Structure 1
Amino acid sequence: MMLTGTRVADAYPTRTAGEREPFDRTHPAVWGTEQDGPLDAATLASHESNGFSVVEQLLSPAEVQGYWQELTRLSNDQELAGDERVVTEKKSGEVRSVFEVHRLSELITELVHDSRVLDRARQILGDDVYVHQCRVNYMPGFEGAGFYWHSDFETWHAEDGMPVPRAVSCSIALTDNYPFNGGLMVMPGSHRVFVPCAGETPRNHYRDSLREQEIGVPSKHEITKLAAEYGIEQFTGQAGSALWFDSNVMHGSGNNITPYPRSNIFIVFNSVTNALVEPFAADEPRPNFIANRDFTPLSR
Structure 2
Amino acid sequence: MTLVDARIQDHYPTRVEPAQGRGWIERHEPTVWPGVAKGPASAAELTRHARDGFHIQRDLLTTSEVSAALNELRAMVEDPVIRADERTITEPASDEVRSVFDAHLFSDRIARLVKEPRVLDRARQILGSDVYVHQSRVNFMPGFRGNGFYWHSDFETWHAEDGMPGMAAVSLSIGLTDNLPYNGGLMLMPGAHRTFVPCLGRTPDDNYRSSLKAQKVGVPQEDDIAELARRHGIGQFTGPSGSALWFDCNSMHGSGNNITPYPRSNIFVVFNSVDNALVEPFSARERRPDFVAARDFTPLKT
Query: What SS does structure 2 have at the residue aligned with 1:198?
Result: coil
Aligned ranges 1:250-269 → 2 under 5 Å = 250-269=252-271
Looking at structure 2, the residues matched to 249 and 134 of structure 1 have their Cα atoms a distance apart, in angstroms, of 18
- Paired AA for residue 208 in structure 1: S
How far the C-alpha of 1:6 sits from its partner, in A, is 4.6
- Paired AA for residue 212 in structure 2: L
Aligned ranges 1:62-101 → 2 under 5 Å = 62-101=64-103
Task: Show the counterpart of 1:294.
Answer: 296
Relative to structure 1, the CA distance from residue 24 to residue 77 in structure 2 (aligned partners, 3 Å threshold; closer, same or farther) is same
Query: What SS does structure 2 have at the residue aligned with 1:113?
Result: coil
TM-score normalized by the length of structure 2: 0.96
TM-score normalized by the length of structure 1: 0.97
Query: What SS does structure 1 have at the residue aligned with 2:37?
Result: helix
From 148, 153, 156, the counterpart of 1:154 = 156
Aligned ranges 1:133-148 → 2 under 5 Å = 133-148=135-150
Looking at structure 1, the residues matched to 223 and 272 of structure 2 have their Cα atoms a distance apart, in angstroms, of 30
Contact 1:33/1:41 (8 A) holds in 2: no
How far the C-alpha of 1:153 sits from its partner, in A, is 0.1
Looking at structure 2, the residues matched to 114 and 142 of structure 1 have their Cα atoms a distance apart, in angstroms, of 35
Contact 2:176/2:241 (8 A) holds in 1: yes
Looking at structure 2, the residues matched to 164 and 63 of structure 1 have their Cα atoms a distance apart, in angstroms, of 34
Looking at structure 2, the residues matched to 26 and 230 of structure 1 have their Cα atoms a distance apart, in angstroms, of 19
Aligned ranges 1:121-140 → 2 under 5 Å = 121-140=123-142
- Paired AA for residue 297 in structure 1: P
Task: Show the counterpart of 2:14.
Answer: 14
Query: What SS does structure 1 have at the residue aligned with 2:213?
Result: coil
Looking at structure 1, the residues matched to 40 and 84 of structure 2 have their Cα atoms a distance apart, in angstroms, of 41
For structure 2, the 5+ residue unaligned runs are none
Looking at structure 2, the residues matched to 190 and 130 of structure 1 have their Cα atoms a distance apart, in angstroms, of 25
Instruction: Provide Cα deviations, 1:13-55, integer angstroms capped at 9, x if missing partner.
Output: 0000124111211111100378321112221111101000110
Contact 1:58/1:240 (8 A) holds in 2: yes
Query: What SS does structure 2 have at the residue aligned with 1:136?
Result: strand
Contact 2:33/2:128 (8 A) holds in 1: yes
Contact 1:50/1:188 (8 A) holds in 2: yes
Aligned ranges 1:78-227 → 2 under 5 Å = 78-227=80-229
Query: What SS does structure 1 have at the residue aligned with 2:150?
Result: strand
Query: What SS does structure 2 have at the residue aligned with 1:57?
Result: coil
1:242 and 2:244 aligned: yes
- Paired AA for residue 287 in structure 1: P
Task: Show the counterpart of 1:228.
Answer: 230
How far the C-alpha of 1:260 sits from its partner, in A, is 0.4
How far the C-alpha of 1:80 sits from its partner, in A, is 1.4
Looking at structure 2, the residues matched to 34 and 132 of structure 1 have their Cα atoms a distance apart, in angstroms, of 20
Looking at structure 2, the residues matched to 32 and 208 of structure 1 have their Cα atoms a distance apart, in angstroms, of 38
Instruction: Provide Cα deviations, 1:208-259, integer angstroms capped at 9, x if missing partner.
Output: 0000001000000100000000000011000000000000010000000011
Looking at structure 2, the residues matched to 108 and 190 of structure 1 have their Cα atoms a distance apart, in angstroms, of 30
Looking at structure 2, the residues matched to 6 and 266 of structure 1 have their Cα atoms a distance apart, in angstroms, of 30
Shifted more, 152-161 versus 103-112: the winner is: 103-112
Task: Show the counterpart of 1:36.
Answer: 38
- Paired AA for residue 183 in structure 2: N
Looking at structure 2, the residues matched to 213 and 194 of structure 1 have their Cα atoms a distance apart, in angstroms, of 18
Q: Number of paired residues?
A: 297
